[in-house]
């Protein structure tokens, strides 16, 4: 055979990139390592949650094998979430092992979304493992209101965690869910706090995931309104920056920092969606707003030594990724898009 043609032949057993039916390349995997959390945020969980039994969870070794399969298939950014990911026993071993893929050049970034409660303990270890950037959820700077929204959270513990992250060299982005009647008037203060302390801020619209104890329609605050309100006191300029996720960013002239908007309801970001979500039970969700999933726990356990089967299962799942989600939420009504809570899918 002609040498030129030989050069064009695909390499045997080389995993192919993940392209969904709408031509989007999947390069971002979010992994929930646990559904458990030490907070009970009112927009995320019911106060009395029933968590998964241990036998239903993937082991850390299974999570690592599956994450590596996705990295081999083209994932360049990997985010660990929960629940609260740092509550998973021995989770640092998983983080250290996945961090090695950065050194190999197979992974661009390993990040974490956390509520900050465990950061004082783990910040140095995270940096040593290769994590350079984390997201910390913080919806208010009022300790009493913080306790109200998280039910169980300790504001001062989170503040200590943010300081530990700074000292460890971790770049922090704060995530705040914009909630009508709760924190809408605090957003300028959150913005100044973040930027004064070298952190960016991203605002998120409340999403209708899982039954909770509150009426989500009363919580819904469109970020288009938030932006208009902010522009009365701040100069916001759109920028093309991307972190691989759904946020759209602006610079804030008065503070010198960046502000992100995640708008799954008022202005969805489906056209550029490059991500899928893996739960701690091995269920792969192709879209946050759909219940369609693929059971990778069974694939893993039925094929403990055959990664080719795992790669084919990934291709089969990606081929079912929908074009867009179907959230419905406004000031007058709320429809729960899916029954699972955000803590199960991964925040």
Residue 191 belongs to a domain with what CATH number? 3.20.20.70
315: region left, alpha or beta (phi > 0 left; psi from -120 to 50 alpha): alpha
pLDDT tens-digit profile of 284-297? 999 876 677 899 99
Distances (CA, A) of 251 to 11, 147, 201, 226, 269: 45, 31, 11, 15, 20
The pLDDT, as a whole number, for residue 41 is 81
Mean pLDDT, residues 57-85: 97
**Is 89 inside any structural domain?**
yes
Residue with tokens 């932006």: 227
Question: Cα-flanking dihedrals φ and ψ of residue 113, to 5°?
Answer: -110, 125
Confirm if 234 and 211 have CB atoms less than 8 A apart: no
Specify binding-site residues for S-adenosyl-L-methionine.
Answer: 43, 83, 137, 207
Specify binding-site residues for [4Fe-4S] cluster.
Answer: 37, 41, 44, 270, 273, 287
Specify binding-site residues for GTP.
Answer: 30, 79, 113, 173, 275-277
pLDDT band at 208 (very low <50, low <70, confident <90, very high): low
**Is 226 inside any structural domain?**
yes
The pLDDT, as a whole number, for residue 79 is 97
Q: Which long-range contacts (CB under 8 A, 24 or more apart) does 248-254 make?
A: 252/191, 252/195
**Is 56 inside any structural domain?**
yes
Specify binding-site residues.
Answer: 30, 37, 41, 43-44, 79, 83, 113, 137, 173, 207, 270, 273, 275-277, 287
pLDDT band at 200 (very low <50, low <70, confident <90, very high): very high
The pLDDT, as a whole number, for residue 180 is 92
Q: Which domain holds residue 289?
A: 25-345
Compute the mean pLDDT over every residue in the chain, rounded to the nearest whole number: 87
Percent of the chain with pLDDT over 70: 82
Q: Which of 6-15, 32-41, 230-239 has the lowest mean pLDDT?
A: 6-15
pLDDT band at 272 (very low <50, low <70, confident <90, very high): confident
Which of 227 and 12 is assigned the larger pLDDT? 227
Mean pLDDT, residues 30-41: 91
DSSP character for 339?
S
248 half-sphere exposure, CB direction, 13 A CA radius: 16
The pLDDT, as a whole number, for residue 2 is 44
Instruction: With a cut of 70, say whether residue 101 has pLDDT above it.
Output: yes
The pLDDT, as a whole number, for residue 246 is 79
Q: Which of 130-139, 157-166, 210-219, 335-344 has the lowest mean pLDDT?
A: 335-344
Total domain count, the chain: 1
Confirm if 212 and 254 have CB atoms less than 8 A apart: no
Element (H, E) at 1: none
pLDDT band at 346 (very low <50, low <70, confident <90, very high): low
pLDDT band at 188 (very low <50, low <70, confident <90, very high): very high
The pLDDT, as a whole number, for residue 160 is 98
In angstroms, rounded to a whole number, what is the distance separating the alpha carbons of residues 200 and 175? 9
**Is 161 inside any structural domain?**
yes
The pLDDT, as a whole number, for residue 46 is 73
The pLDDT, as a whole number, for residue 6 is 39
CB neighbour burial string for 73-100, b if at least 16 within 10 angstroms, e if fewer? bbbbbbbbbbbbbbbbeebbebbebbbe
**Is 257 inside any structural domain?**
yes
Mean pLDDT, residues 298-322: 95
Instruction: With a cut of 60, say whether residue 163 has pLDDT above it.
Output: yes
**Is 45 inside any structural domain?**
yes
**Is 324 inside any structural domain?**
yes
């Amino acid at each position: 055979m002609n040498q030129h043609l030989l050069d064009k032949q695909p390499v045997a057993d080389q995993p192919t990139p993940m392209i969904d039916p709408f031509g989007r390349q999947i390069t971002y995997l979010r992994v929930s390592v646990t559904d458990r959390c030490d907070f009970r945020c009112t927009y995320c969980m019911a106060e009395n949650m029933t968590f998964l039994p241990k036998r239903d969870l993937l082991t850390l070794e299974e999570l690592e094998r599956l994450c590596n399969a996705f990295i081999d298939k083209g994932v360049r950014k990997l985010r660990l979430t929960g629940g609260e990911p740092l509550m998973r026993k021995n989770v640092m071993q998983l983080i250290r092992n996945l961090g090695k893929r950065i050194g190999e050049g197979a992974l661009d970034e390993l990040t974490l979304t956390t509520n900050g409660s465990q950061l004082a303990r783990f910040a140095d270890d995270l940096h040593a493992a290769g994590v350079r950037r984390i997201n910390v959820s913080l919806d208010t700077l009022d300790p009493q209101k913080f306790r109200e929204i998280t039910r169980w959270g300790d504001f001062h513990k989170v503040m200590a965690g943010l300081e530990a992250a700074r000292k460890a060299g971790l770049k922090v982005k704060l995530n705040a869910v914009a909630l009508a009647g709760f924190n809408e008037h605090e957003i300028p203060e959150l913005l100044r706090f973040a930027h004064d302390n070298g952190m960016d801020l991203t605002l998120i619209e409340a999403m209708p995931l899982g039954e909770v104890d509150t009426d989500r329609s009363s919580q819904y605050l469109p970020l288009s309104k938030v932006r208009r309100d902010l522009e009365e006191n701040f100069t916001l300029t759109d920028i093309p920056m991307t972190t691989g996720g759904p946020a759209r960013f602006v610079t804030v002239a008065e503070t010198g920092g960046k502000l992100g908007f995640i708008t799954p309801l008022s202005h969805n970001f489906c056209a550029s969606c490059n991500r899928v979500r893996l739960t701690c039970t091995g269920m792969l969700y192709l879209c946050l707003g759909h219940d369609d999933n693929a059971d990778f726990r069974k694939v893993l356990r039925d094929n403990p030594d055959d990664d080719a089967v795992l790669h084919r299962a990934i291709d089969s799942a990606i081929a079912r990724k929908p074009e867009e989600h179907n959230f419905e939420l406004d000031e007058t009504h709320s429809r729960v898009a899916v029954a699972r809570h955000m803590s199960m899918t991964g925040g």
